[in-house]
């Protein structure tokens, strides 16, 4: 039982460190609030998705 607690604590700490690293990377690269480049990519992605849906090429799996 103690081994499970040790492994769980280790995974929790590693996950926390990984989450902090990912959050810092996102904040550094994109910034909060998002810059113009990120907003433009959002618009382009949304438009492309809408085009695919309207053409019937976008399949959604259940």
> Is position 60 within any domain?
no
The band of 62, judged by pLDDT with boundaries at 50, 70 and 90, is low
Name the residue range of residue 29's domain: 2-55
Q: Could you report the per-residue pLDDT of 21-51, keeping only the tens digit for each? A: 888 887 777 766 666 777 788 888 888 888 8
> Is position 49 within any domain?
yes
> Is position 6 within any domain?
yes
The band of 61, judged by pLDDT with boundaries at 50, 70 and 90, is low
Mind spelling out the 3-state secondary structure of the chain? CHHHHHHHHHHHHHHHHHHHHHHHHHHHHCCCCCCHHHHHHHHHHHHHHHHHHHHCCCCCCC
Percent residues over pLDDT 90 in the chain: 2
> Is position 26 within any domain?
yes
> Is position 28 within any domain?
yes
- Whole-prediction pTM: 0.44
* Per-residue pLDDT at 47: 85
- The answer to whether 38 touches 30, Cβ cutoff 8 Å, is yes
Interatomic CA distance for residues 22 and 42, integer angstroms: 20
* Per-residue pLDDT at 60: 59
Number of domains in the chain: 1
């Amino acid at each position: 039982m103690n081994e499970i607690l040790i492994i769980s604590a280790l995974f929790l700490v590693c996950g926390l460190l990984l989450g902090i690293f990912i959050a810092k990377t996102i904040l550094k690269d994109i910034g909060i609030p998002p810059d113009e480049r990120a907003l433009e990519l959002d618009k382009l992605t949304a438009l492309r998705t809408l085009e695919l849906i309207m053409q019937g090429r976008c399949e959604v799996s259940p």
